[in-house]
Structure 1
């Protein structure tokens, strides 16, 4: 059985856009670099894992940093940084949503494909492949 999980609404993605007109779309904007630093502040990177444990989507717990980096906030003590395999065009611009196709599990794992969907036209405009997930954990948590 194939379940669909809408990870983020277009409005939230639009707020995470890279600098407009930037010639390098994978470059992180200063605003998103600050946001990345806030999300990982006081946390220590752990060895990467293949799957994001039992992720339940919410527009408030996923932040697009750039077209190769997405942060999933599990709680105030732990975040997971998803490293996309290659670039994931359009995830930080316009009315787009990142949609995963999960089969048989509630987790998003390395190699899972996410579609970038134009929510206005209801068409797929691209796709991305998840790489490893790096947990950042507050010491003592």
Structure 2
């Protein structure tokens, strides 16, 4: 029994990369919204954290894609894909507390119902991929 308990976490660790490469299915509306936000931008190297200024105006594209950026005209925006998705993110208020001014992968997001204020679940931020406007 003890060997089995030690084996399970190792199996989960090796399965994690395979799960993160799953194709994300978006509705036509979600895909259009994502395309519009990423138009004319180039992806950079993923970051573990973003600073306070980059956390403004979070947009929920789908349960699997969140975008952070100070505005639609911001030079750089950040795309985050929460680990395992964030079920019903578009229907709830996303609440996260920051121990520092940075927001980092692995931090927990609570999903709070818009009407009742009841916590409906949680998820965890993934890496933040910067998308920078291409030079004109």
Normalised TM-score (structure 1): 0.71
1:41 alignment counterpart:
39
SS in 2 for 1:131: coil
Q: How far off its partner does 1:83 sit?
A: 1.3
Partners of 2:115 and 2:47 in 1: how far apart? 34
Runs of 4+ in 1 over 6 A off after TM superposition: none
Q: CA RMSD in A?
A: 1.9
Q: 1:1-141 counterparts in 2 under 5 A?
A: 27-55=25-53, 61-75=57-71, 76=73, 77-93=75-91, 96-103=92-99, 105-140=100-135
Name stretches of at least 5 consecutive residues in structure 2 with no aligned partner: 1-23
Q: Which has the higher strand share?
A: 1
Q: Which has the larger radius of gyration?
A: 2
Q: How far off its partner does 1:55 sit?
A: 4.0
Partners of 2:45 and 2:108 in 1: how far apart? 22
Q: How far off its partner does 1:87 sit?
A: 1.8
Q: How far off its partner does 1:39 sit?
A: 0.6
Identify which of structures 1 and 2 has the higher relative contact order when contacts are C-alpha pairs closer than 8 Å and 6+ apart.
1
Name stretches of at least 5 consecutive residues in structure 1 with no aligned partner: 1-25
Partners of 1:121 and 1:57 in 2: how far apart? 26
Q: Which has the higher helix share?
A: 2
Partners of 2:38 and 2:54 in 1: how far apart? 20
